[in-house]
Structure 1
Amino acid sequence: MKPSRLNTNAPDATCPLHAPKDHPKVPREKIGVLLANLGTPDATDYWSMRRYLGEFLSDKRVIDYPWWKWQPILQGIVLTFRPSKSGAAYKSIWNTEADESPLMTITKEQVSAIKIALEAEYGDRVMVDFCMRYGNPSTKSKVEELVAEGCSKILFFPLYPQYAGATTATANDQFFRALMEENWQPASRTVPPYFDDPAYIDALAQSVERAYAAAKRKPDILICSYHGLPERYLKEGGDPYHCQCQKTTRLLKERLGWNETRIMTTFQSKFGPEEWLQPYTVEEVARQAGKGNKSIAVCAPAFSADCIETLEEINEEIRESFEHAGGEEFLYIPCLNADPLHISALVGQVRKNLAGWV
C-alpha cells in the first residue's frame, strides 16, 4: 500500500476535529474539476513526436486491431516515418513564443477563464485543472495533485461535445485507471456529451454569424467537418458519434434559421485502409467547387479548441483541395476556444454536474 500523498504543508491544512494532537495535518476538503483534452507532443522533434504518436496509436480505443497484428506495423513502419511528417505539420502551427502547441495554449486559456468563473461562484472550495489523454500533463499526475490538495470529489470533464469511444471513452478510461492508483479514492463523476446543449449550439451559431458578417464574400455553403471514425465502429460497436454529429449540424442549422442546402456534415482525418465515416471533407470541398460553390466556409464542431486537425489539416490541406478544384474563397471558422460564450457553456455544464456536491 502506498503512503498518503496528502499535502500536509498546504496553507489550509489543519488537524481534523477530535483527532489526537499528534495527528498529521490534512488539507481542507475540496472538490476538483479536471478538464481533459486529447493531447499534444512536448516538441516537434522526431523523438518527441514518436513518443506522442506511440502512445496515441497504441490505444485500443483508437485502433482496435489485434496487438500482435498492429504493433509490428506501428513500431516497424508507422513510427519510423510518421514522426517526421507529423513534426513538420506541428512545426507549421507551433506557438514558438510559448514553445507549445496551440492546443496547449488554448486549453490553458480555457482553464483560466473557467477557474475565474467558478471561483466567483464557489470561492476556493472548487479547484480547476486540466490534463491530456496523451502526453503531458498526464491524467494520472493531475489526479494525484488534486487528491494531494484535499479533493475528496472530482468531476472529470472530457472536452468533446459529441461522444465517441476514441475520444470521450478513452479519456474516461485513463481517469479511472488513475483512480485505481489511489488508496483513498475520491468520489467521482464524468460529464456526459453536451452537443445538444442550447448554450453550446448558440455559441457555435454566433461564431458562424460573426464570421459570415466579416466575410468579404458570403459563403455558398457551410461545411461542418467532424473528426472521422472507422465506419465499422458505428455498424458493429454501436458508437453514437455519427448520430450526435448529424444532430449537432441539424441543431446548428435550426438555430441559424437556414435550409438544408446551406449546410452539411463531413468527416476528416481518415487513417488506414478501411472505410471511415463519409463524406470525406477533403473530397467534398473539391466536389463543392466542381458543382459551382466557389465560396465555402468550414467549421469544426467536434473540437473544443483549435489543434493540428483544424489549423493544419483544415486550413492548409483541405483548403488546398478546394482551391485546386477551382474554389475561390475558403473561410475557416475557428473553434470556439476561449470565446466567452463557449466558456459560459462549459461553466454551465460544470455547474449542472456539480449539483449536490456544492
Structure 2
Amino acid sequence: MNQPLIGVILAQIGTPDAPDAKAVRPYLRRFLSDRRIIDYPPLLWQPLLRGIILRVRPRKSAALYSSIWHKDGSPLLLHSQAQKNALQMLLGRRFRVELGLAYSEPGMKQAVAALETAGVQRIIIVPLFPQYSSTTTASVYDAACFAALGRNSASGPVTKRFVPALRFIDTYYNAPGYISAMKQHLLRQLALSDTAPDFAVLSFHGIPRRYAETGDPYPQQCHETARLLAEAMGWEPDRWQISFQSRFGREEWVGPSTEEVLKGLAGRGIRRPVIFSPGLVTDCLETLHELAVEGREFYASGGGDAEGFLAVPCLNDSPEWLGFLAGMVEENARGWLPDAGPVNFH
C-alpha cells in the first residue's frame, strides 16, 4: 500500500507583484499591518500607515524594486520557485512541495489548498529564516496555521472542516549543514573574484532593540551564526564584523548598523570588503539593492574605492543549501514515513 504524500511548504515573507506603486501599496499594507512586524496599537498605527506611509513609501519602494526587477518577475519569487522545484526533485515522489508567502501570492492558503487537493494530510512548514524572529518566523507560523485551520483570525468564521497535521522545522542558525553550505557558497563566489577580500561584513536584517529586550532571541542567534561562519572560513577576529540593516522608524534598533559599519571601513584601512547576509537565503530587495547597491555607496561615501567592494549573493538554489534543506525535511518527516532510510543529502 502506498504511503500518503507528505506536504512541504517553503515559507517566505513575500514580494510585490510588479515594480510599481499600484502593486507595492497592497503588499506594504498587508506587511506593515501585521502586528508581528509593527506592534503599535492599531488605533495609533493605522492612521499613520494609511494616511502618510502608504501615500509616500510605495512610490519610493517601487523605484527601488524597478532597479532590481528581473525580466521574468520578482527576484525573490523567481529564486523561491527555483528552490521549490529543486527541493521537489531531491525529495522525490513521497513529498509534494509548495511555496507559501505570508503577504503576497502564492499565499499560504493557496499552498495548503494545493496540498489538500493532492490528498496531503500531513504538512511540514519550512521557514526560510535560519534565525528565529517574531517578525519573520512567527509571522509565517501565523499564516500557515490560519491557512490550515481555514480561518483568518481566532474569532473569525471557519471555512473548512478537516485540518491537516502540521510540523514546523526548528531554527537552523547553528546547524553544521547550514554553516557548511554557506562556507562552500562563499568559497565558490570568492574564487570568481580577481583579488581576495581583506575584510568581511556579515549583515543581518535588523529588529527594534525593544523586541530583543522583550524576548526575541534573534540577535543572539545572528551573533552565533556569524561566529560559526567566521570560524569555518578561518577569518581572524579583526577580519570580519557583524552588522544589522533595514532600520525603519524612530525606535532604537539592534546594532551596529550596516550603514555605519560600511562608512567606517575605509578609515580603518580596509580596501577590499565583502558583504554577505547569513540571515537571508533568497536574494531580494534587501540584498540586491540595500547591500549590493546602497552598501557600495556607503563604503564609497566613507572614502573607499567602490571598485574594491564585493557583495555576495544569497544561497538561492546552491546545491549544498538545497541538500541541507532536503535533509531537514526528511528528518522532520520521521514517523510519518515509516520506511524512510538514512538521511544523506550532504
Structure 2 length normalisation: TM-score?
0.92
CA offsets per residue over residues 259-296 of structure 1, 9 Å max, x none?
Answer: 21111110000000011110000111111122211220
Is residue 203 of structure 1 aligned with residue 203 of structure 2? no
The equivalent of 1:24 in structure 2 is: none
CA offsets per residue over residues 62-86 of structure 1, 9 Å max, x none?
Answer: 0101101110110000000100010
CA distance in 1, matches of 2:255, 2:131: 17
Q: Give the gaps of 5 or more residues in structure 1.
A: 1-16, 18-26
Is residue 326 of structure 1 aligned with residue 295 of structure 2? no
The equivalent of 2:98 in structure 1 is: 129
CA offsets per residue over residues 218-253 of structure 1, 9 Å max, x none?
Answer: 222100000000001011x21110011000011011
The equivalent of 2:87 in structure 1 is: 114
Is residue 101 of structure 1 aligned with residue 46 of structure 2? no
- Aligned residue for 2:304, secondary structure, equals coil
Is residue 336 of structure 1 aligned with residue 315 of structure 2? yes
CA distance in 2, matches of 1:81, 1:156: 35
The equivalent of 2:156 in structure 1 is: none
Q: 1:28: Cα distance to partner?
A: 8.3
- Partner letter of residue 180 of structure 2? D
Q: 1:216: Cα distance to partner?
A: 2.3
Is residue 215 of structure 1 aligned with residue 199 of structure 2? no
The equivalent of 1:147 in structure 2 is: 116
- Partner letter of residue 273 of structure 1? R
Is residue 169 of structure 1 aligned with residue 138 of structure 2? yes
CA distance in 1, matches of 2:267, 2:231: 27
Q: 1:196: Cα distance to partner?
A: 1.1
The equivalent of 2:273 in structure 1 is: 296
Of all paired residues, the percent bearing the same amino acid is: 42
The equivalent of 2:330 in structure 1 is: 351
CA distance in 1, matches of 2:292, 2:235: 24
CA distance in 2, matches of 1:217, 1:286: 21
CA distance in 1, matches of 2:79, 2:300: 29
Is residue 253 of structure 1 aligned with residue 226 of structure 2? no
CA offsets per residue over residues 15-70 of structure 1, 9 Å max, x none?
Answer: xx9xxxxxxxxx98321011111101011222211000000000100010110111
- Aligned residue for 1:40, secondary structure, equals coil
CA distance in 2, matches of 1:147, 1:160: 25
CA offsets per residue over residues 114-167 of structure 1, 9 Å max, x none?
Answer: 000001xxxx23111111111101101211221122101000111101100000
The equivalent of 2:155 in structure 1 is: none
CA offsets per residue over residues 294-323 of structure 1, 9 Å max, x none?
Answer: 220000111111000000111111210101
- Partner letter of residue 35 of structure 2? K
The equivalent of 1:4 in structure 2 is: none
- Aligned residue for 2:13, secondary structure, equals strand
- Aligned residue for 1:214, secondary structure, equals coil
Q: 1:203: Cα distance to partner?
A: 1.2
Contact 1:56 1:134 in 2 (8 A): yes
CA distance in 2, matches of 1:183, 1:82: 40
Contact 1:162 1:245 in 2 (8 A): yes
Is residue 32 of structure 1 aligned with residue 7 of structure 2? yes
Structure 1 length normalisation: TM-score?
0.89
Q: 1:170: Cα distance to partner?
A: 0.6
Q: Which residue of 220, 233, 242 corresponds with 1:265?
A: 242
- Aligned residue for 1:304, secondary structure, equals coil
CA distance in 1, matches of 2:115, 2:192: 43
- Partner letter of residue 303 of structure 2? G
CA distance in 1, matches of 2:267, 2:49: 37
The equivalent of 1:186 in structure 2 is: 164
CA offsets per residue over residues 299-354 of structure 1, 9 Å max, x none?
Answer: 01111110000001111112101012111211001101000011111111111111
- Aligned residue for 1:151, secondary structure, equals coil
CA distance in 2, matches of 1:230, 1:84: 25
CA distance in 2, matches of 1:28, 1:192: 25
- Partner letter of residue 150 of structure 1? G
Q: Give the gaps of 5 or more residues in structure 2.
A: 151-159, 338-346
Is residue 45 of structure 1 aligned with residue 20 of structure 2? yes
CA distance in 2, matches of 1:258, 1:296: 13
- Partner letter of residue 275 of structure 1? E
